[in-house]
Amino acid sequence: MRRRGILAVVSGFSGAGKGTLMKNLLKQYGNYALSISMTTRLPREGEEDGREYFFVSKEIFEEKVERNGFIEYACYCDNYYGTPREYVEYQLDMGKDVLLEIEIQGALKVKEKFPEALLLFVMPPSAKELKNRLTGRGTETPDVVSKRLNRAILEAQGIENYDYIVINDDLEICTQELHSIINTAHKSVRRNEEFIENMRQELNVLVKGEK
Ligand code: ADP
Ligand code: 5GP
């Protein structure tokens, strides 16, 4: 019996370290598949089409919306971002734990459509450290940094919708914590109904056979 993968949604303020954590998880453990989103934002220096994102025009993005090609999409700081449907469904069927690194509006839509999804929120150790990381990354103008920090205030209001928070202070510890939460979720009674039912039947057969 192949266990079905877990759909793990990872959100967090811009600069909290989500991208870094995802790379670390993929590098250290074998059972993850990271969904690559489609976006209308421009690539940052060093980003490659098909690796960090599929970078597309607004027209192409809207066409895919029309064709129901996303499991969710949202507008974030003036750009569209969406999760392509096919890859996610295929990898879950293959038993992979699928990571969606998405913002909060998208996360809530995923929870509506996939109630069994696991929602994780990455926190920085402090607000000051968040600003340091966001500016230290050096990829956004001061204006965009300020927009993203303002957005963090809004996002902080929605954290109660998530299942767990992880604090990204030490990267290695945080990576292990994320992995351990996802692994523990595989053990939940809800996710093991088939195994439990088989055991009930086996017990019945065994006891009846011994009479
Ligand atoms: P996000 O994807 O959440 O926007 P990034 O992964 O791009 O964030 O990380 C933002 C910056 O913080 C990057 O420069 C990254 O190297 C740095 N960073 C990430 N995690 C840590 C950590 N645990 N300690 C210190 N710096 C970190
Ligand atoms: P960035 O521009 O920093 O790469 O991403 C901005 C925000 O968009 C981040 O919070 C990131 O998690 C989120 N994001 C990335 N891809 C998607 C997606 O497919 N859907 C949604 N809803 N948000 C996404």
Q: Over pLDDT 70: what percentage of the chain?
A: 99
Distances (CA, A) of 167 to 100, 113, 182, 186: 18, 27, 15, 22
Q: What is the pLDDT of residues 106-137, one digit of tens each?
A: 999 999 999 999 999 999 999 999 999 999 98
Instruction: Supply φ then ψ for residue 160, to 5 degrees.
Output: -60, -15
Q: In the chain, what are the helix, strand and coil shares in percent, each to the nearest 5?
A: 50, 20, 30
Cβ(41) – ligand 2 distance below 6 Å: yes
Q: How far is the CA of 58 from the centre of ligand 1 (A)?
A: 28
Token code pair at residue 161: 């919708």
Q: Which bound ligand lies closest to the C-alpha atom of 36?
A: 2
Q: pTM, whole model, 2 decimals? A: 0.93
175 lines ligand 2 (CB under 6 A): no
Q: Hey, where are the domains in the chain? A: 7-210
Pocket around ligand 1 at a 6 A CB cut-off: 12, 14-20, 133, 136-137, 168, 171
Ligand nearest to the CA of 15: 1
CATH class of 7-210: alpha beta
CB 29 within 8 A of CB 186: no
